Amino acid sequence: MGRPGVRRGGQPRDCPWSHRRGSRGLTMATLTITAHFPLGVFHGHEPDGSPALHPDTARLYSALVHAAGSGPMADLRDETLHIRPEVADALIWLEEHPPSELTVPTAVRTGLDRGIAFRQQGTLAGSSKTPKIQVSSQPILTGSVADGDYAWHWDDAPDQACDVINDLCAEVSCLGEAHSPVILRCDSPIQPTHRTATSSQLKPAPLTVRTPTRGRLNALQAEHEAKRAGRAPSVSADRHSTSESLNRTRITTDGLRAQGYAPITPPPPTTSPWNRALVLTSSSELPARDPLAWCVALHKMLVSRLADQAPSSVTGAYLSGVKRPANRVAIQYLGATGTSPGRFLVMLPHDLPAEDVPLIARATAGAPRLFNRQGSVELGEVAGIDLVEFWPEPAAGFNRLWWTQLPMIPDTRRQRDRGGQSWTSEHAALLSVGYAFRDQLGFQTRDYWEITDLVRDAGVRVVQPRPVAKSTPERYVHKLPKGVSIASPYTAFLDLGTLANPRSLIALGQSRHLGGGLLVPVDFPEGASPWL
């Protein structure tokens, strides 16, 4: 390919189209490119070689450049294909204008390094008299399956650019690997999920996407010309003489930047993992600073009062083959504040069977006193309360994060590394969010790494997770999950994004049903850092 995007001296040429709507002789339109994978699977790699979950804007741009320089839209001059000037102008316009909106569907990986493939790699080994084609082994890397098409949208695009890009899209056959065929269209309406956003050191954008910037076309063409430099070898010079090796090169990163996007904020959710609660006030503060033990005592009292009518939503015991809900009845304690006494909350999950509600209400009412090994407290009357809008609204100009009132306990043991990435407390927290919000996220996978990816894609961030000394783990967990022999309590700030109503009362972690993992809101001024 030639270099129509470069003037003599190597300086990028300017796009001849004005950037302003309404300029003389220029009409503007919206431009949308949708990507449909007919096989249902996207295969691609990140720059570090790990599997990519989504195709990004840089990958789309490279596919368009390839179509411009190798397909029927290219010019043939001196036995070499060249990008036409008007096509280069359209590509340069894309460099100068990142997409204003994206549609990023929910995606899950189809597998992860679950096999080895052996294939001939096109190189010879051994002497020239008895050469053998080399066979290499490669891990079968995962693809990703999305619940919809991907899309890139520009609010204002010159008609000339739209026409050229529409023609280029028709010539793109794959996006990612060669076995990842794609159909690109410019005429499909979309429902955007993300819009461009600015980021700062203190508050990065929720989603960053590799995006071409000014000079990307020049960088790709310069790299292409460098690989084709010099004359082709003669037949004798190209003859095999010794073992060959693959010439592996990395694609240049010149002309790329990270463009930030934020989810298009929907109305606050009207549901929560727990929608309602029965409130029991206590006559005094608990005799010991051990709310978890008192929540366990209240749970035992409820089971005892329910006797053989105790439902699975309270006991946690389900018949074999019965699908377990994401959350059960949970019991939490809120300490006294000001003139408000301490309160026990019997939290009812949003999908609690209707027949369980009156049973739990009757068992909760009429319990005058609660006992455990540390003493006893007198209980007040039972009242109902809404948990979706429990906390006050954050003040204007403040961002709401969540802090664990008691340290959280991971829902599972430490997982094996994935692609050189180690399992950390951040992943444990993301997994706990995924478990508590399973119904809201709607996933079916049981792969822990995939769940953490889905939760992160939903806009959840974990800030400064820190382990807690395990001298008294019984303060944080009543019973460890199966397969976990050591409690690993930790604290963290969490940004739940749009996944949760900012006023909802939520608990996370393995002990969320019995006094642990309760989240309390902590509001920070916009731009402030929670760890300074």
What's the pLDDT tens digit per position in 334-344? 887 766 778 99
DSSP letter string, 380-449: EEEEEEESTT-SPPPPTTEEEEEEESS-B--SSPPPPPBTTBPP-HHHHHHHHHHHHTHHHHT-----HH
Which of 188 and 195 is assigned the larger pLDDT?
A: 195
428: left (phi over 0), alpha (psi -120 to 50) or beta: alpha
* Torsion angle in degrees (nearest 10) through CA of 37, 43, 47, 50: 140
pLDDT attached to residue 524: 85
- Mean per-residue pLDDT, 490-517: 92
- Mean per-residue pLDDT, 37-64: 91
Per-residue pLDDT band for 20 (boundaries 50, 70, 90) equals: very low
Residue 360, helix vs strand vs coil: helix
Tracing tokens 């019995």 back to the chain, one arrives at 514
Contact 502, 393 (CB under 8 A): yes
Dump pLDDT digits (tens) for 485-502: 566 888 999 999 889 999
Dump pLDDT digits (tens) for 83-133: 999 999 999 999 999 999 999 998 877 765 556 777 777 777 766 666 778
Q: Which of 453, 227, 437 is nearest to 351 (CA)?
A: 437
Give the separation between CA 480 and CA 516, rounded to whole angstroms: 12
Give the separation between CA 63 and CA 511, rounded to whole angstroms: 49
**Residue 171, CB-side half-sphere exposure with 13 Å CA sphere:** 19
Beta bridge partners of 461: 495
pLDDT attached to residue 10: 41
pLDDT attached to residue 200: 59
Q: How far is CA 370 from CA 8, 148, 226, 336, 516, in A?
A: 86, 52, 79, 17, 19
Contact 342, 286 (CB under 8 A): yes
- Mean per-residue pLDDT, 467-474: 70
Whether the per-residue pLDDT at 23 is higher than 50: the answer is: no
pLDDT above 70 coverage of the chain, percent: 83
Give the separation between CA 179 and CA 429, rounded to whole angstroms: 35
Per-residue pLDDT band for 16 (boundaries 50, 70, 90) equals: low
pLDDT attached to residue 119: 73
pLDDT attached to residue 14: 54
Per-residue pLDDT band for 46 (boundaries 50, 70, 90) equals: confident
Dump pLDDT digits (tens) for 217-243: 999 999 888 877 767 777 776 666 666
pLDDT above 90 coverage of the chain, percent: 45
Tell me what the pLDDT averaged over the chain comes to: 84
pLDDT attached to residue 497: 85
83-92, 280-289, 361-370, 516-525, range with the lowest pLDDT: 280-289
Domains of the chain: 28-107+145-230+246-263 (3.30.70), 269-532 (no CATH)
Whether the per-residue pLDDT at 1 is higher than 50: the answer is: no
Per-residue pLDDT band for 21 (boundaries 50, 70, 90) equals: very low
- Mean per-residue pLDDT, 35-47: 91
pLDDT attached to residue 284: 74
Contact 153, 196 (CB under 8 A): no
pTM, 2 dp: 0.56
Q: How far is CA 69 from CA 1, 66, 116, 527, in A?
A: 6, 5, 35, 45
Per-residue pLDDT band for 357 (boundaries 50, 70, 90) equals: very high
- Mean per-residue pLDDT, 431-445: 93
- Mean per-residue pLDDT, 40-49: 87
Whether the per-residue pLDDT at 474 is higher than 70: the answer is: no
- Mean per-residue pLDDT, 364-376: 83
**Best-predicted range by mean pLDDT among 23-37, 266-280, 347-361, 372-386?**
347-361
